[in-house]
Structure 1
Amino acid sequence: MLPKIPKANLHENIYTIPNILTASRLVAAPFIGYCILHDYHAMTLGLFAYAGITDALDGWIARRWNLKTVVGTVIDPMADKTLMTVLTVALAVKGALPVWLAVIILGRDVGLAISAIYYRWISLPPPKTFSRYWDFSLPSAEVRPTLISKYNTALQLGLMGMTTLAPVIPSVDMSSALGIMQYVVATTTIWSGASYIYSKDAVKILTPPPPPNGGEEKASGDKKEDNPR
C-alpha cells in the first residue's frame, strides 16, 4: 500500500496585526481625500501622519514577529497606491499639485493595477472562479517591489507630505522646494514603472505545478500484478 500524501494547504492566516494596520490605511484614504477637498488642512496632515506611521509599523511588526503573509505583499502596496491616488486626485483638483504630474503618477498606477489583475488571474490555482479570485487567503502570486520603486514611493510620500504641510504653515515659503520635488518625483515615477516591465523578479508565481498524471493508476496496476489470481 502506498502512503496517502496529504494535499498542501494553500490558505494562509490573513488576520494578522500588520494586515489589519494596512487595511486601516485603506480605510483612511477616502477620509484624507475628503479633508483635502474641504480644506481641513490640520485633519489632513494628521491622517497623513497616521498613514505614514502605520506604513512603517506594519512592516516592522511583520519582520520582528515573523508575521509576513503573501496577501500582505499585495495589500501593502495596494494601500500605498490607494492613498497616493486619493492624494494625487484631491490635491490636483485643489490646484496644489500640477496636472501633468498627476497624469504621470496615475498613469503608472493604472498600468500596474492592470498588470496585477492579469497576474492574479493567470496564477490562480484551478478552478478559476470569481469567488476564488477575490479570496485573498488563497495566495497565487507575490509582488516584489523593485529598489527604485521603493525610493519612488518614499519620494512621492515626501512630496505629498510637504504639499499637505504647506497650508498648515503659510508663513513658510515652500514653493521652490515643492517645485524641485515635483520634477524629481516625475522622474522616479517613470523610472519605477519601467523597472516593473524589465525586472524578472518583480512578480513571483506561487501556484504549484500540477501532479504528474498516471501516478495513481500506475501504482494500482503494480498492485494487481503483485497479486495475480
Structure 2
Amino acid sequence: MPTSIPNIITLGRIILVPVIVWAIVSSQMEIAFALFVTAGISDAVDGFLAKRFQMTSELGALLDPLADKALLVSIYVALGVLGEVPRWLVILVVSRDIMIVSAVIVSWLFDKPVEMKPLMVSKLNTVAQVAFAALVLASLGFGFRPYPYDLILMALVTIFTLVSVSLYLVEWVRHMGTIEAR
C-alpha cells in the first residue's frame, strides 16, 4: 500500500521536531515559532486531507498522535531546560504522557489492549498546551510580555492535564480490573 499524502505530511512534522528544538536551544525563537506554526498548520492539513478524501490509515492513526506528542513534549522540555516554562509544568505535561503510554504498554503485556479514544478534555488539553507553547515562543521571538495570558493558559494546561490523566487512569483501571487472577 503506498504511503498517503497525509502520512507524508505527518512524517514531515516529526522531522520538524529536532529542528524546532535546535531553534529553541539556539535562541532562534522567531524560527522556532514559525516552524511551530508550520507544524500546527500541517497537522490541520493532514487531518483534513485524510478525512475529506478518505485517506485515513492505521499508520496515520499511530503517527499523527505520535507526531503531536513528540512536538509538544520536545518543546516543553526545551523551554523548561532554558527556564522559559516552569519545570513543574514540564514535569506535569511529560508525566501525563508517560503514564498514558505506560498504561497502554501494560495493557498489551497483559494481552488486554485498551482502546484509546481521545476524551474531550484531552482535546482541550492539547489546544491549551499548543496555545501556551505558541504564546511563549512568540513572546520570546518578538519580545513582548505575555502577562496575564501566560498565567491563564498555564492554569488551563495544568487543570486539563490533571483532569485528563485522572480520567484516563480511572478508565484504564476499570478496563484492567476485568483481568482474572491466574
Q: TM-score, normalised by structure 2?
A: 0.86
Q: Report percent identity of matched pairs.
A: 29
> Which amino acid letter does the alignment assign opposite residue 148 of structure 1?
V
Residue 170 of structure 2 corresponds to which residue in structure 1? 198
Residue 189 of structure 1 corresponds to which residue in structure 2? 161
* Distance change >3 Å, CA 32–CA 44, structure 1 → 2: same
Q: Displacement of 1:168 after TM fit?
A: 2.2
Query: Which of residues 155, 158, 163 is equivalent to 2:128?
Result: 155
Could you tell me which runs of 5 or more consecutive residues in structure 2 were left unpaired when the two chains were aligned.
176-182
8 A Cα contact 2:30 2:142, kept in partner: no
1:209-220 matches, within 5 Å, as none
Query: Which of residues 34, 50, 53 is equivalent to 1:62?
Result: 50
* Distance change >3 Å, CA 165–CA 77, structure 1 → 2: same
> Which amino acid letter does the alignment assign opposite residue 184 of structure 1?
L
Runs of 4+ in 1 over 4 A off after TM superposition: 119-124
Q: Displacement of 1:51 after TM fit?
A: 0.7
Residue 9 of structure 2 corresponds to which residue in structure 1? 21
**How many residues matched?**
173
SS at match of 1:55: helix
Could you tell me which runs of 5 or more consecutive residues in structure 1 were left unpaired when the two chains were aligned.
1-12, 125-139, 204-229
- What are the Cα deviations for residues 134-189 of structure 1, in whole angstroms up to 9, with x where unaligned? xxxxxx8753211111111011000000000002221x321321122111101101
8 A Cα contact 2:28 2:141, kept in partner: no
> Which amino acid letter does the alignment assign opposite residue 128 of structure 2?
L
Residue 148 of structure 2 corresponds to which residue in structure 1? 176
Q: Displacement of 1:193 after TM fit?
A: 1.2
Separation of aligned partners in 1, 2:115 and 2:63: 11
Separation of aligned partners in 2, 1:184 and 1:147: 14
Instruction: Give 1 or 2: higher helix fraction.
Output: 2
Q: From the CA coordinates, give the structure whose radius of gyration is larger.
A: 1
Residue 140 of structure 2 corresponds to which residue in structure 1? 167
* Distance change >3 Å, CA 182–CA 14, structure 1 → 2: farther
Separation of aligned partners in 2, 1:75 and 1:186: 25
Residue 102 of structure 2 corresponds to which residue in structure 1? 114
Superposition RMSD in Å: 2.2
1:97-112 matches, within 5 Å, as 97-112=85-100
> Which amino acid letter does the alignment assign opposite residue 131 of structure 2?
G
